[in-house]
C-alpha cells in the first residue's frame, strides 16, 4: 500500500478541516498531484527556496507548510518573480506542496492550542469563535483566552514565554511588576484581534508581528503586549504537528518518513 498526496490531504482534513480557514486564506494542495505517490514528507513553516533545496537533498517529494505559497492566484508563473521561481522549481523536481494555515490555527488541538499547552495555559474562551454551523462553534476559532488561577507578573510571564518557547529574546510593553490575571494568545500575527481581546478583559496579549502604534495605544490603556515573534509563536507547534502526522501515518500502515526542516528559520536576526 502506497501513501499518496490524497492520503495526506485526508489526514489533514480530519485533523484541521479546510472549512475552518478564514475567508481570505488559501489552503490545501498548492502545487502537485493528489494521486502522486509520496516518498518522504518535509515539514516547514514556509516554502522558501532553501526549504525546496532541503526537500531535494532529503528525497522528499511532499512539503507540508503552515504558510501557503499562494495566497492569491498569480498573474503569471515565470522566473521573474520569487513565487514563480519556487513553483517552477517544485514542478521541475516533482515536489508536491500542501499548506494548512488558518484552519490549523483555528481547530481544537491546532497551533494556537499547542502554543497554549506549551505555555501551560488553559483555554477558557475563543477570541474569534468559528461560525461554521454544526462544527467547532464552541472550541474552534482564532485566538485563545486564559484566566489564571494564580496571578503572575508581566516580568515572570515574559520569562515563561522565553523558556517554554525556547527563544532568547522578545519584545514587550508594560511594567514588569504589572499583575496579570487574564491573557490572550494569538499565534503568528495577532494585531487584528487586539480590540476583540481587549473587550474580553485581557491584561496581556502574547503574539508576534506587532507594530508601534498598536502597542503604544494598548500600553496607554493598561494592556501589556508580549511580542515573541511570528516564527517563534508557530514553529514550536509545527514540531508537534510533525509528530501527530507521523503517528497517524504509522497507524494507517504506511512507512513514510516525516522530516522537520532544519533550514526554515525566522528571517530576523538580533545583535
Q: Whole-angstrom Cα distance, residue 256 to residue 40? A: 6
Q: For 45-191, list the strands marked E by DSSP.
A: 60-65, 96-99, 125-129, 141-153, 171-173, 179-189
Is residue 230 annotated as involved in ligand binding? Answer: yes
Maximum C-alpha span of the chain: 60
Q: Whole-angstrom Cα distance, residue 212 to residue 6? A: 43
Phi (first) and psi of residue 260, to 5 degrees: -90, 130
Residues 6+ away with beta carbon under 8 Å from 39 = 59, 60, 61, 62, 256
Is residue 66 annotated as involved in ligand binding? Answer: yes
| CA neighbor of 129 nearest in space, from 140, 121, 118 | 140
The residue with cell 489564571 is: 148
Is residue 101 annotated as involved in ligand binding? Answer: no
Is residue 234 annotated as involved in ligand binding? Answer: yes
Is residue 67 annotated as involved in ligand binding? Answer: yes
- According to DSSP, the residues that pair with 249 across neighbouring strands are none
CA distances to 98, 100, 116, 133, 169 from 119, rounded to whole Å, are: 28, 23, 5, 30, 16
Q: Look at strands 171-173 and 224-227 and give their pairing.
A: antiparallel
Annotated binding-site residues read: 66-67, 105, 230, 234
Annotated binding-site residues for a divalent metal cation read: 66-67, 105, 230, 234
Amino acid at each position: 500500500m502506497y501513501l499518496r498526496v490524497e492520503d495526506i490531504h485526508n489526514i489533514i482534513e480530519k485533523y484541521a478541516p479546510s472549512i475552518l480557514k478564514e475567508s481570505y486564506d488559501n489552503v490545501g494542495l498548492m502545487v502537485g498531484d493528489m494521486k502522486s505517490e509520496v516518498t518522504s514528507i518535509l515539514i516547514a513553516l514556509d516554502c522558501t527556496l532553501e526549504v525546496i533545496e532541503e526537500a531535494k537533498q532529503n528525497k522528499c517529494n511532499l512539503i507540508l507548510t503552515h504558510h501557503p505559497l499562494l495566497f492569491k492566484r498569480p498573474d503569471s508563473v515565470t522566473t521573474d518573480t520569487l513565487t514563480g521561481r519556487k513553483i517552477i522549481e517544485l514542478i521541475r523536481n516533482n515536489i508536491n506542496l500542501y499548506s494548512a494555515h488558518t484552519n490549523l490555527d483555528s481547530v481544537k488541538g491546532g497551533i494556537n492550542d499547542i502554543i497554549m499547552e506549551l505555555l501551560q495555559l488553559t483555554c477558557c474562551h475563543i477570541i474569534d469563535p468559528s461560525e461554521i454551523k454544526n462544527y467547532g462553534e464552541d472550541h474552534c476559532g482564532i485566538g485563545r483566552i486564559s484566566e489564571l488561577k494564580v496571578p503572575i507578573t508581566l516580568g515572570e510571564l515574559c520569562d515563561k514565554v522565553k523558556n517554554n518557547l525556547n527563544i532568547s529574546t522578545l519584545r514587550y510593553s508594560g511594567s514588569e511588576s504589572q499583575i496579570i490575571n487574564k491573557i490572550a494568545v494569538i499565534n503568528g500575527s495577532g494585531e487584528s484581534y487586539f480590540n476583540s481581546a481587549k473587550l474580553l478583559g485581557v491584561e496581556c496579549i502574547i503574539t508576534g508581528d506587532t507594530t508601534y502604534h498598536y502597542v503604544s495605544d494598548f500600553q496607554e490603556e493598561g494592556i501589556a503586549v508580549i511580542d515573541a515573534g511570528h516564527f517563534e509563536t508557530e514553529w514550536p507547534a509545527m514540531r508537534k504537528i510533525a509528530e501527530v502526522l507521523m503517528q497517524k501515518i504509522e497507524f494507517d500502515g504506511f512507512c513514510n518518513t516525516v522530516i522537520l526542516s532544519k533550514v526554515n528559520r525566522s528571517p530576523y536576526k538580533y545583535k
